[in-house]
Every structure is written in structure tokens, then in C-alpha cells.
């Protein structure tokens, strides 16, 4: 019995080490798979405009696309909180370290599939503006990561620019520009744009689904919308969708 004890101990040690190695391999595989899904080759051909389309585009003002962050372009959780929507062990796309009320906090940020490609394309069509109800110290760090030195997310608005009403933050688009005919807001929360529903494109909240294609699906609409004189003439027809999310 005494002789078998070291043998059992050795087997347990071997199994423990093997389990940790296997766990690490699975972590790397999951991270690699998410990278493939996130950055897989996707196509939305931005073909040269016809003379008629070019003239029409020149006749209207360049539009502004206002982008929400959390659950629209990204999803994050912080130290000590692991939401059930993110499977334990799912690697984040990046980690932010910020100080809130003198306490260091780490945010584990997951990017919505195709967000980099989406931003690259729509930045050619619109002036992009970030408008988040999050605190500036967090929202600014997220926007910096998404911008990735491309200088496409220059204008940003945060919690202090929202209007607090009955415990919820409302985004007043007149803060961004006084001409509402040329502003589109993409936000997963209808409450955030309830003052301007005719300017909104609804999008389903995203947490962790790696097969999500919502951002890609919006490209044809955003492509066409930039040719309209008043975006509200088109987006007002979306009102029935705002209740879906």
C-alpha cells in the first residue's frame, strides 16, 4: 500500500498537469476561432459611383452616423462580474484598465463580429460620432481601441452629455448637430433615442454570439441612406421595429 501511494500521487500530478495543458490548448483554440470569425474575409463591394449617383450625393449634406458602444459595437464585463451571456473562458478581444473613484477596474471587452470592417466601410460614407451613456474614462478607452489609430472616431459624447430622465439616460442628438435631417443613430436601446425615434436604426443587443451578422446586414441600408435629403423620411418607417429589442 505504501509503495502504491507515490504511484497514485504521480498519476494525480500527471492528470492535473495534463488537464491544465488541455485547458490552455482549448483556450487558445477558442481564441483563434473567435479571431477567424471576427476577421474573416467579408465583402461589401464599394463600387465607384455612377455620374448620376455622384451628382445626387453631391446635392445632399454629408450625413452623421452616431454610434452607441455597449451591446451595439462591443460587450464588456468588469472584475468580479461575469455575466451569464459570456461563457467562462471566452477570451476578450482586449482588456482595459481604468481607475474609477480611485479604484482600479479591469474591463474585459468583446467586439461584435465584423465591427472593424463595419467601421472601415461606414467611415467612408459618414462622419462617425460615438455617443455612449457610459462614463468618459471607460467610453474613451473603448473608442480608442475601436479607432485603432485610424482617426475615424474623433467626435465623442459620454454620460455627461446625456439627459437623465426617470433613471435612464437619453441621448439628445441636437447636441451632436442642430440639423436632424442628416443624423442617424445606431443604438440597441430604444430608450436612449426616444426623443428622436425618426433618426434611429434599431439593432439587436449583442453579448457573445460569434455568428452575429447584424452590422454587416446594415451596410446596404446605410449605403442607400446617405443619398436621401432627410434621413427621417426613411427611418420613420422603422418605428414598429423599435419595440422588438
Count of positions (residues) in the chain: 245
**Distance of alpha carbon 221 from alpha carbon 219, whole angstroms:** 5
The number of beta carbons lying within 10 Å of the beta carbon of residue 242 is 17
Among the listed residues 207, 245, 210, the one whose alpha carbon sits nearest the alpha carbon of residue 76: 207
The answer to whether the beta carbons of residues 76 and 108 sit under 8 Å apart is yes
DSSP helix/strand/coil, 131: strand
The widest CA-to-CA distance across the chain, in whole angstroms, is 90
Residue 185: other Cβ atoms inside 10 A = 25
β-pair type (183-187, 64-67): parallel
Catalytic site positions: 68, 70
- Buried b vs exposed e over 7-31: b needs ≥16 C-beta within 10 Å? eeeeeeeeeeeeeeeeeeeeeeeee
DSSP 60: S
Q: CA of 129: how far to CAs of 22, 55, 125, 126, 152, in Å?
A: 43, 26, 13, 9, 9
Amino acid at each position: 500500500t505504501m509503495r502504491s501511494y507515490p504511484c497514485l500521487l504521480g498519476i494525480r500530478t500527471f492528470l492535473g498537469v495534463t488537464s491544465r495543458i488541455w485547458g490552455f490548448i482549448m483556450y487558445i483554440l477558442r481564441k483563434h476561432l473567435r479571431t477567424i470569425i471576427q476577421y474573416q474575409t467579408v465583402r461589401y463591394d464599394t463600387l465607384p459611383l455612377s455620374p448620376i449617383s455622384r451628382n445626387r450625393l453631391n446635392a445632399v449634406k454629408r450625413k452623421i452616423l452616431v454610434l452607441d458602444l455597449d451591446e451595439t459595437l462591443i460587450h464588456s464585463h468588469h472584475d468580479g462580474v461575469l455575466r451569464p451571456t459570456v461563457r467562462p473562458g471566452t477570451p476578450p478581444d482586449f482588456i482595459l484598465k481604468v481607475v474609477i473613484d480611485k479604484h482600479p477596474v479591469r474591463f474585459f471587452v468583446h467586439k461584435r463580429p465584423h465591427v472593424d470592417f463595419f467601421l472601415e466601410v461606414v467611415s467612408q460614407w459618414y462622419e462617425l460620432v460615438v455617443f455612449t451613456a457610459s462614463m468618459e474614462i471607460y467610453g474613451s478607452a473603448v473608442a480608442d481601441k475601436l479607432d485603432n489609430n485610424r482617426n475615424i472616431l474623433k467626435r465623442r459624447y459620454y454620460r455627461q452629455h446625456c439627459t437623465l430622465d426617470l433613471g435612464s439616460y437619453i441621448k439628445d442628438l441636437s447636441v451632436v448637430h442642430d440639423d436632424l435631417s442628416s443624423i442617424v443613430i445606431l443604438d440597441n436601446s430604444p430608450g436612449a433615442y426616444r426623443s428622436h425615434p425618426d433618426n434611429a436604426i434599431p439593432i439587436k443587443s449583442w453579448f457573445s454570439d460569434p455568428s452575429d451578422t447584424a452590422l454587416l446586414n446594415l451596410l446596404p441600408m446605410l449605403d442607400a441612406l446617405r443619398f436621401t435629403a432627410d434621413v427621417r423620411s426613411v427611418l420613420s418607417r422603422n418605428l414598429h421595429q423599435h419595440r422588438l429589442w
